[in-house]
């Protein structure tokens, strides 16, 4: 149980184009999903918290107009990198929390396999 | 602001050796601390999660300890195997938040 998938696993695009990454919880419902970014040899950094049916909460320094997040259902959140540039090339990982676990301190986030974005 | 540090950044050991990976955090007000494994180009595999009220967790050859007062956690791997080669990440979940703060990881290589 508690499987999270991401699609695509790898994407290469030209500078200036937009790229959409999907994050799905396969066997549970997730009211909250999280988007992280990982640059080479760096730690994962939380970009934003995605809440089903409401606006995402972005971390300081993350441009909300550049990284559009949509959490339209309890099993799907999407991250769209708009007008991508080479500096956006990174590994993007999502995680999801089981709706049934609540936001209490004993809940756990389950991570997807990640999406490697390369912007030429 | 929480900061998580992992030492060493890289570690190479011969097969069969027992080893310890270290994780330190600056803010002791955490809900839990979690250890992950990450293979090259892959996502995260959760290994152990220690709640703030716990001192340690064990799973097979892995044992993780937590000392909140000193801001430290260790991951002990017994009888290491080449298949254990990966990057190990620790992450602290802030109290009152769902945010996970990650360290940069320790890249472990177990040589046959």
Instruction: Report the distance separating Cα A80 and Cα B1, nearest Å.
Output: 28
Measured between beta carbons, which residues in chain B are less than 8 angstroms from residue A107? 98
Residue A43 has its nearest CB partner, among B45, B52, B103, at B103
Measured between beta carbons, which residues in chain B are less than 8 angstroms from residue A95? 100
b/e map of B84-98 (b: 16 or more CB within 10 Å)?
bbbbbbbbbbbeeeb
Instruction: Report the distance separating Cα B96 and Cα B78, nearest Å.
Output: 34
Measured between beta carbons, which residues in chain A are less than 8 angstroms from residue B89? 43-44
Hey, are the CB atoms on A34 and B98 less than 8 Å from each other?
A: yes
Contact A48/A69 with Cβ under 8 angstroms? yes
Strand segments (E) across A39-101: 45-51, 57-58, 67-73, 76-81, 90-97
Hey, are the CB atoms on A97 and B36 less than 8 Å from each other?
A: no
* Residues above pLDDT 70, as percent of chain B: 100
Angle (nearest 5°) at CA A76 between A74 and A82: 135
pLDDT, tens digit, for every residue of A64-102? 999 999 988 889 999 999 999 999 999 999 999 876 665
pLDDT, tens digit, for every residue of B33-80? 999 999 988 889 999 999 999 999 999 999 999 999 999 999 999 999
Hey, are the CB atoms on A34 and B93 less than 8 Å from each other?
A: no
């Amino acid at each position: 149980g508690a499987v999270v998938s991401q699609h695509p696993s790898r994407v290469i695009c030209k500078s200036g184009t937009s790229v959409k990454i999907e994050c799905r919880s396969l066997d549970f419902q997730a009211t909250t999903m999280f988007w992280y970014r990982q640059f080479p040899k760096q730690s994962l950094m939380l970009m934003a918290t995605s809440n089903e049916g409401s606006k995402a909460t972005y971390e300081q320094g993350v441009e909300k107009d550049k990284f559009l997040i949509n959490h339209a259902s309890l099993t799907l959140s999407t991250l769209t990198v708009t007008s991508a540039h080479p500096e956006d090339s990174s590994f993007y990982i999502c995680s999801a929390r089981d709706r049934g676990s609540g936001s209490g301190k004993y809940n756990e986030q389950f991570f997807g396999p990640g999406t490697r974005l390369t912007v030429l | 602001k929480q900061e998580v540090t992992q030492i060493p950044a890289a570690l190479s050991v011969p097969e069969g050796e027992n080893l310890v990976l270290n994780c330190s955090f600056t803010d002791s007000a955490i809900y839990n601390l979690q250890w992950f494994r990450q293979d090259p180009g892959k996502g995260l595999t959760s290994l152990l999660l220690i709640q703030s009220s716990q001192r340690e967790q064990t799973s097979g050859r892995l044992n993780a300890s937590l000392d909140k007062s000193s801001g430290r956690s260790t991951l002990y791997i017994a009888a290491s195997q080449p298949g254990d080669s990966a990057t190990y990440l620790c992450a602290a979940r802030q109290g009152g938040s769902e945010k996970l703060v990650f360290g940069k990881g320790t890249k472990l290589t177990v040589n046959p």
